Every structure is written in C-alpha cells, then in structure tokens.
Amino acid sequence: MKYKRILLKLSGESLMGDKAFGIDNNRLAEYAKQIKEIYDSGVQVAIVIGGGNIFRGVQAEEGGMDRTHGDYMGMLATMINAMALQAGLESVGVHSRLQSAIEMKEISEPFVRRKAVRHLEKGRVVIFGAGTGNPYFTTDSAASLRAIEIEAEVILKGTRVDGVYTSDPEKDPAATKYDMISFDDVYGKGLKVMDMTAFTLCKENDLPIIVFDMDTPGNLKKVVEGEQVGTIVRN
C-alpha cells in the first residue's frame, strides 16, 4: 500500500444512494465493504462524513433561521451519519471508534487527538463527527483539520465524480479531467475541490488531496495502492 494512514472524506449526500433523502442501506453496505478492504490490508483509516443528506446549515439560513443555530443542527446530522457508518463497519467486522467535536458521551468519545492516534495505531477506524464543533466551518474544513492533527498522509475525497475537471462534467460535455493539478492552479482556474478554508489548510500544511469516485467498488483500494484513480491535488 502506498499510504499507511489516510483520512477519507465522504459527503452526506453520498449516503443517499438513489434516495431523495436520508440513508440508503445498500450504499452504506458498499462503503463499509470498501473500507474493510483497505482496513484488512493494515491501512490506518480515519473518516469525516458530512450531513447534507439530513440537514445543511445553509438551508436554515435561507429559511430565516440564525446561521449559527443551523450549523449546530448540521453537526448533529453528521453524527447520525457517523453512527450509521460505524454500525455498517461493525457489521462487517471492522473495529471502530466515534469521536465527536461536541460532547455526546452516551454515543461517542470526545475528540482527543492523542486518543484518536492511539486508536489508529491499535487498528481501529476512527470516525470524526460534529465537524470542528464550531459554526461557519464546513465538514471539508473538519476533514482538513483532523487530517493534519492525526498526521494523515493524504485526504481521500470520495465523491460521485471521478476527479477534478476543467469545468462541471455534468453540465459541460467538453470538460476534461486532470490527473494531477497544483493547489495554485486549482485556485487560479476557480475550480471547486473544497471550500477555501479547507483548501488553504491543506496547501499550507503540504497535505495532498485525491478526488475520486467512491461509488465505483474497488476504487478506494486502488487509490490507497497508488494507482492513478481520480485527481491528485498537491503543492
């Protein structure tokens, strides 16, 4: 395996599968199976998952709700997804721990960096829930922050698109994919990989991001093995 310790970032929407809302159990099972493949190979895996399939803070703001209030609701949505993913992993024999940036001692541990690293070293998957614990920060920012804190070698951003394109491939049939692109070029060309806070954290800490299609079975293992799947963003 090319990478020994990775942080996998999943969107909440990816858990919907073919549903319009909530969690698709088949998609959850597929993800658990892919994660188990690399877990069984000895890769240390940390995960951050979004909550957009349940609730998004920006939705609240559009409806007239206070943004801070809405963001905390979004953090709770990420915990529902994190618990679902934890259950999916445990059902296929993957030992895991859920750590939350907001104290919820009945269902998770609080986030403690040293403890998270120790879990990884002992062969447990660590799921980080509740974002950074602060409003106005996305789960992309949480993924970047946690990856840096646990000294992950790379962020694997699993999406429904198979990499970074010159423009939106779902709207522009002439869009072409990059195999590799620099942080500066992503910024200069106005391409969307992560929000600017998350992106800047990765750039300043020399943490590469690989954007790939998580919905294709086997892709996660290929990425971790170092195969050219998706797009690598690096300095």
Prediction pTM value: 0.95
Domains in the chain: ranges and CATH: 5-234 (3.40.1160.10)
Tokens of 36: 């188990």
Which tokens hold the place of 22? 């909530």
Q: Note the pLDDT of residue 184.
A: 95
Residue 233 bridge partners (DSSP): 181, 209
Model pLDDT for residues 187-216, shown as the tens digit of each residue: 999 998 999 999 999 999 999 999 999 999
How do residues 133-165 score in pLDDT, each as one tens digit? 999 999 999 999 999 999 999 999 999 889 999
% of the chain with per-residue pLDDT over 90: 87
The half-sphere exposure of 192 on its side-chain side, counting CA atoms within 13 A, is: 6
pLDDT category at 64 given cuts 50, 70, 90 is confident
Q: How many CB atoms lie within 10 A of CB 175?
A: 13
Strands 154-159 vs 5-10: parallel, antiparallel or unpaired: parallel
Band (pLDDT 50/70/90 cuts) for residue 173 is confident
Distance of CA 20 to the CA centre of its chain: 20
What local confidence, expressed as pLDDT, does residue 33 receive? 98
Q: Are 118 and 109 in contact (CB under 8 A)?
A: no
How far apart are the C-alpha atoms of 198 and 167, rounded to whole Å?
20
